[in-house]
Structure 1
Amino acid sequence: MAQAEAQQHPIRLYLIVWGWLFVLSTCSYLVDYFGFQGYLRWFLILLFMIVKAGLIVAVFMHMAWERLALVYAILVPPLVLLVFVGIMAFESDYTRFTRLAFFAMGQ
């Protein structure tokens, strides 16, 4: 009879990741506490959010131990979507600029 081998990860790994999530959440809170403003504030908040999401996906959702094809199938579509959102944001600024320039000339 074949024995089913189950991979068990040490509890230490989960505790370390939990600790890092706590530290990153504290840093995210401190961004508001110290009153950072503008692009620096949003950059830091988004950076901490992405790192926390990466830790959760990698360890708690076991993506770090999956086949590379599955990792690509799950992670690439959201990344491509973010690229498209960035392109649309750039194009919307250009469109707004051209409309303001065009309608300002007509007055």
Structure 2
Amino acid sequence: MAQAEAREHGLHGHAAPAQAVGHAEGQQHPIRLYLVVWGWLFVLSAGSYSIDYFGLQGYLRWGLILTFMMLKAGLIVAVFMHMAWERLALAYAILVPPLLILVFVWIMVLESDYTELTRVLSFGMGP
């Protein structure tokens, strides 16, 4: 049985090296890094909740909410999903499409004002 397994792995009856037998160890990061990130996530969440507490309204409210949201998502993706340690090509493949979607959403927001204006001018203000 052991010889059949050795042949499957290309060892041909030789003793398996210690590295092939054991499981590959993943990249280890210090616990301090995770604690610092959790701290920053707590601070950013407190900032996000303080927007409602102080009753901010309008563009300031939504700008701050989106800023806090993007910062928290960036920290989570970079550290907990290990994107900070990936190859640059993989990071671009994962990060560029959502950024392009945000650009297209911004273009749609700008276009919506024009569309509303043309509808009001064409169809009137209503009853």
Do the structures match in fold with TM over 0.5?
Answer: yes
> Which runs of structure 1 show a deviation greater than 6 angstroms over 4 or more consecutive aligned residues?
none
Q: TM-score, normalised by structure 1?
A: 0.89
Which residue, 44, 53, 56 being the options, matches 1:33?
53
Superposed counterparts of 1:27-66, under 5 Å: 27-66=47-86
Q: What residue number does 1:92 align with?
A: 112
Measured after TM superposition, the shift of residue 95 of structure 1 is: 1.6
Q: TM-score, normalised by structure 2?
A: 0.76
Q: What residue ranges of structure 2 are gaps of 5+ in the alignment?
A: 1-16
Measured after TM superposition, the shift of residue 54 of structure 1 is: 0.3
Give the CA RMSD over aligned residues. Answer: 1.4
Moved more, 92-101 or 68-77: 92-101
Q: Does 1:19 align with 2:61?
A: no
Moved more, 26-35 or 84-93: 84-93
Identify if the C-alpha distance between structure 1 residues 21 and 102 changes in structure 2 by more than 3 Å, giving closer, same or farther.
Answer: same
In 2: Cα distance, 1:77 partner to 1:38 partner: 28
In 1: Cα distance, 2:46 partner to 2:30 partner: 25
In 2: Cα distance, 1:96 partner to 1:8 partner: 54
- Number of residue pairs the alignment of both structures matches: 104
Moved more, 53-62 or 38-47: 38-47
Q: Tell me the SS of whatever aligns to 2:28.
A: coil
Measured after TM superposition, the shift of residue 5 of structure 1 is: 5.5
Measured after TM superposition, the shift of residue 88 of structure 1 is: 1.6
AA of the residue aligned to 1:61 = M
Q: What residue number does 1:7 align with?
A: 27
Q: What residue number does 1:80 align with?
A: 100
Q: What residue ranges of structure 1 are gaps of 5+ in the alignment?
A: none
In 1: Cα distance, 2:105 partner to 2:64 partner: 20
AA of the residue aligned to 1:63 = M
Q: Does 1:69 align with 2:89?
A: yes
